[in-house]
Structure 1
């Protein structure tokens, strides 16, 4: 994602200002005292990179939140439409089947696992021919 031009201009202005103030001082640039313009440039660059990562991750989170909200509303609406259009006898049978599945969850999971294993073995056997 490109960095906004205002941010780039702001950082470049900050770097120029820092460089100018560093050049205007009469003190020598040492590792103990005032940092050199190159050190300042590196510090500003690291700060800028951190800012860009933060802004980018915030934007991604915001987009993901909006997308999940949209998806949740769409799923809710689809469920409502389905419930409105489905005849009552079908809804009753589906409700009974769901209750039975909840009560007998372990045997259903076991039967599903057996079916998956059977399907995989059949597919492997056909692939060898």
Structure 2
């Protein structure tokens, strides 16, 4: 459901750039759809279901952080969501967990770069490299 909201928001953003006179109307709808996607992903994370694994929670945290990073200006919350998802992914073993870890580290590095925290980005890159070598 969250992916549908994001897809629709991106379609609206495309239409708004093609029709600059109606940009204000489309921007409000775009923000509303992004907000709905964030609420949906947050609700999924909060589910207390035996079907939801730690890996599923880490994947949801990754997607939430991606949406926050790509669609909003809230990079601090995106950073917090990545950190939380890394903690969840740390408790899971296997190749799928490694893939999620590396994607989380990649996003974390991008957030640090955007926030001009280059030392943290460099340290995270080292950590990701060491993780990949294992």
Question: What TM-score do the two structures reach when normalised by structure 1?
Answer: 0.28
Q: Which one has more relative contact order, counting CA pairs under 8 Å at least 6 apart? A: 2
- Structure number with bigger Rg: 1
Question: What TM-score do the two structures reach when normalised by structure 2?
Answer: 0.28
